């Protein structure tokens, strides 16, 4: 089992320069080898226009990582006489990224890759996010105070936070560090360790009684609605308030962005350099976005940790977030909620704690189904916030009804081994568009985006 442990760094000015140098070295190797590949392809294409036979064309370059790295080692002293100032891992990382990008483009063009078509790799600019990965060399944690890490060529760097969570596992022999990735994001340097967990990595929390199941219905007005209220996390109805960090910062963001628009920024057409005041305003904007992102991540971690510690089984929906973002009226609210990050955290935290995460089918009618009698409505508009069942005359909040149906889905998934119940982590069998009008609460229904309100 692989896990990533990410720590913020507090490098000295000299160490920060070394970090930037390594990231720049990875970018340089990527761009130079990409230029050679493009020149080779263009030369062969030009020769074909003269009807030259294939065997007489300029020999093609191999796009494998090992071939590109061997070619780099042959020419690095001529094109980069300063290469010894950085770790060899920096150049290898840039070449490995290029090999992966070329492979993705090749398989996509041949129709062997699912999803959208992949474009040909482009050159990395200096404005791209600095990043570099180390796989060998002296890398790891420093045991003296659990506040330092060691990186190849750079040495020992102090961390902004304690590394004890990872250090305890490494010292106990329950984890092995495979690689380290440095990156600059949100105005701060970070290091992320890729760790292989050895043996039984699940954490059993026997100190707290864990209840059986909870259904989680995600939304915008409320970040989540739980089928079972959790004290300190939700209110008495199971509603988890949406902090709306991004929406609350819109006034300040607009003011700063208007201020930046009045100052001289970068202009690629004229080559104008930005003014010092424009750079100062951009730094303020970046810091504000960093605070928003950090506050959102912190809130999601607290919510997902509380759920995984208190419940054995968690049921959520497989929402079509990309489709919902096409609606410009709610796209910003959906992005600010962080539904994808919440699901990602629930996935690995339930695994770590020995729990189960059940993902309901995207077409499961959680809001259209009555949680009391199981009747399914044909239509249910987003404006109807109270669910009124004509069969049993029950009236219940729309989101609470959906959360209750998701919780009931766990029992149906456990009672059958067939994935057709629409509540497994794999894609369900059968036709997901087939709609039932009565019966138990784990049938498929028409696609609904009612959680977006």
User: CA angle, corner 137, sides to 134 and 139, nearest 5?
Assistant: 70
How far is residue 450's CA from residue 147's CA, in Å, rounded to a whole number?
46
- Catalytic-residue membership of 267: no
- Bridge partners (DSSP) of residue 213 are 313
Residue 219, token pair as written in the block: 């939304």
Strands 155-158 and 239-241: unpaired
Please name the residues in contact with 248: beta carbons below 8 A apart, sequence gap of 6 or more.
none
User: CA angle, corner 153, sides to 65 and 196, nearest 5?
Assistant: 60
193 close to 5: Cβ distance less than 8 angstroms: yes
- Catalytic-residue membership of 217: yes
Buried b (16+ CB within 10 A) or exposed e, 380-399: beeeeeebebeeeeeebbbb
Question: How many C-beta neighbours within 10 Å does residue 92 have?
Answer: 21
Annotated active-site residue in 16, 161, 217, 312: 217
Question: How many C-beta neighbours within 10 Å does residue 439 have?
Answer: 11
How far is residue 25's CA from residue 324's CA, in Å, rounded to a whole number?
40
How far is residue 34's CA from residue 300's CA, in Å, rounded to a whole number?
39
Residue 337, token pair as written in the block: 């909620």
Annotated active-site residue in 236, 352, 399, 450: 399
Residue 169, token pair as written in the block: 């596992």
Backbone angles phi, psi at 192, to 5 degrees: -120, 120
- Catalytic-residue membership of 317: yes
Annotated active-site residue in 16, 235, 317, 429: 317
- Burial of 214: CB neighbours in 10 Å, binned 0-12, 13-18, 19+: buried
Active site residue ranges: 217, 317, 399
């Amino acid at each position: 089992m692989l896990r990533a442990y990410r720590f913020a760094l507090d490098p000295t000015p000299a160490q920060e320069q070394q970090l930037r140098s390594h990231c720049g070295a990875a970018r340089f190797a990527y761009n130079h080898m990409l230029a050679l590949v493009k020149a080779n392809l263009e030369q062969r294409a030009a020769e074909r226009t003269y009807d030259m036979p294939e065997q007489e064309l300029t020999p093609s370059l191999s796009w494998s990582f090992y071939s590109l790295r061997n070619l780099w080692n042959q020419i690095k002293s001529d094109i980069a006489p300063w290469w010894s100032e950085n770790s060899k891992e920096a150049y290898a990382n840039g070449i490995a990224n290029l090999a992966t990008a070329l492979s993705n483009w090749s398989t996509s063009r041949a129709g062997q890759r699912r999803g959208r078509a992949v474009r040909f790799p482009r050159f990395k600019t200096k404005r791209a996010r600095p990043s570099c990965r180390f796989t060998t060399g002296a890398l790891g944690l420093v045991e003296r105070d659990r506040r330092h890490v060691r990186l190849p060529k750079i040495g020992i760097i102090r961390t902004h936070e304690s590394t004890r969570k990872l250090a305890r596992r490494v010292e106990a022999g329950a984890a092995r560090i495979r690689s380290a990735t440095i990156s600059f994001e949100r105005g701060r340097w970070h290091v992320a360790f890729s760790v292989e967990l050895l043996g039984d990595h699940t954490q059993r929390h026997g100190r707290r009684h864990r209840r059986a199941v909870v259904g989680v219905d995600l939304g915008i007005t409320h970040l989540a609605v739980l089928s079972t209220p959790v004290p300190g996390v939700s209110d008495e109805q199971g509603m988890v308030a949406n902090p709306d960090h991004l929406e609350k910062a819109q006034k300040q963001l607009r003011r700063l962005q208007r201020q930046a628009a009045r100052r001289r920024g970068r202009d690629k057409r004229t080559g104008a350099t930005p003014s010092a005041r424009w750079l100062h305003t951009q730094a303020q904007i970046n810091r504000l976005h960093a605070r928003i992102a950090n506050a959102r991540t912190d809130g999601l971690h607290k919510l997902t940790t509380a759920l995984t510690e208190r419940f054995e089984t968690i049921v959520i929906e497989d929402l079509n977030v990309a489709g919902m973002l096409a609606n410009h009226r709610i796209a910003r609210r959906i992005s600010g909620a962080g539904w994808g990050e919440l699901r990602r955290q629930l996935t690995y935290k339930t695994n770590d704690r020995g729990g189960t995460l059940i993902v309901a089918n995207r077409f499961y009618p959680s809001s259209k189904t009555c949680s009391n009698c199981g009747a399914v409505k044909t239509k249910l508009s987003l404006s109807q916030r109270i669910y009124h069942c004509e069969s049993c005359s029950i009236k219940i909040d729309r989101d609470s009804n959906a959360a209750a149906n998701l919780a009931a889905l766990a029992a149906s998934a456990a009672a059958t081994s067939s994935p057709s119940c629409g509540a497994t982590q794999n894609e369900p069998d059968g036709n997901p568009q087939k709609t039932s009008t009565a019966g138990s609460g784990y049938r498929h229904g028409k696609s609904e985006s009612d959680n977006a309100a």
